[in-house]
Amino acid sequence: MQQHTRSVALSVVLHVAIVAAFSFGMRFAPARGSAAPVQEAIETVMLDQALVEQEIARLQELERAEITAREQEEREARERADAARLEREREEQQLQDAREARQRAEREEQDRQAEIVLRREREEAERQELERVEELQRQADAEEQRRKEAEEAATRERERLAELQRQKEEAERRAREAEEARQRAEFEQQLQAELATEAEIRRATESGELDRYLRQIQTRIETNWIPPASAVPGLECVVNVTQIPSGDVVGVTVGRCNGDDAVRRSIETAVLRASPLPTPSVGALFDRNLEVTFRPEF
């Protein structure tokens, strides 16, 4: 606004100066060498400057009045907006209060209806309970009669069961004695068979048959062994072999061994290639789980 006032004042000054110059030129053009007209023109210009300053002061006063009026309007607009907001908030609060009152009334009505339903259900439950008690009493009387009859039947049944139990225990005793006798006979037979097997194994061991059987297995494995590049003289590995009576190998692992992984894998492959393994000439020498010491010469 101050910039606007300066622009207006500058415009007024320019207009006054132009008018004064024009008047001065028109009035004193024929006598330019005279000093009196120049003095008069200067006074005219000074008079016009005073008018300009008065005009600027008036415009500034008008500007201040306009600013005051605008601030008053803005203040009144804010007050009206605040009043409208307060009125709107009051109306919203009234609506909220009305909604809450309506909700309370609805809840009270629901509670009243629920109380009526609950009272009716309670009365109905009491009636049904009374009928149930009467029915239970009738059932209890009938049950008492049945109980007496059942006790008499139970007494007779207990006597019959006692006799059956005595007969069952007698039969179980006889069966137990027979089973014990059968188990003693089987144990004695198994013991005799084990003793005979041990004697047969002992004779085969003493005759060197067991060593020959193991050497046959070792030879079969060594024959099927393809030494890897990492195999060195002095190799000695313990091989655990699982076989079935036909000599077919169903499992093989290498235990303690001074060879590397390639040697171990080559030995396992050799055992599988050697399957089925030789069977012993003496059946008692067969062992499902063999422990073979692998010492190849190469």
Q: What is the pLDDT of residue 31?
A: 43
Which residue is it, tokens 């030129």?
25
CA dist 165 → 155, 162, 168, 169, 200 (Å) = 15, 5, 5, 6, 51
pTM score, whole prediction: 0.36
Q: What tokens does 273 get?
A: 């290639």
What does the chain come to in residues? 298
Q: Report CA dihedral (191, 194, 195, 201) to the nearest 10 degrees.
A: 180
291 with 239: CB under 8 angstroms?
Answer: yes
- The tokens describing 45, both together, are 């210009």
Rounded Cα–Cα distance for residues 73 and 71 (Å): 5
Domain positions in the chain are 2-92, 209-294
Look-up of token digits 């009636």? 127
Question: Whole-angstrom Cα distance, residue 158 to residue 209?
Answer: 69
Residue 271: predicted pLDDT: 95
Specify the higher pLDDT residue, 7 or 117: 117
- Determine how many CB atoms are found less than 10 A away from the CB of residue 220: 20
Check pLDDT > 60 for residue 37: no
Task: Considering only residues 268 and 28, tell me which one the structure prediction assigns the higher pLDDT.
Answer: 268
pLDDT of residue 252: 95
At 194, the pLDDT band (50, 70, 90 cuts) reads low
pLDDT in tens, 252-272: 999 999 999 999 999 999 999
Helices 35-207 and 209-223, packing angle to 10 deg:
140
Q: What share of the chain is helix, strand, coil (3-state, %, to 5)?
A: 80, 5, 15
Residue with the bigger pLDDT between 238 and 45: it is 238
In whole angstroms, give the CA distance from residue 278 to residue 241.
13
pLDDT reading at 40 higher than 60: no
Question: What band does 197 get if pLDDT is binned at 50, 70 and 90?
Answer: low
Distance CA 97, CA 22 (A): 79
Q: What is the mean pLDDT of the chain?
A: 80
Looking at the chain, the number of H-run helices and the number of E-run strands are: 4, 3
Helix (H) or strand (E) holding 256: strand 249-257
Coil, helix or strand at residue 147: helix
Look up the CATH number of domain 209-294: 3.30.1150.10
pLDDT at position 207 is 66
Q: How far is CA 104 from CA 97, 111, 131, in A?
A: 10, 10, 40
Tell the residue number behind the tokens 């169903």, with chain if given.
250
CB of 284 within 8 A of CB of 204?
yes
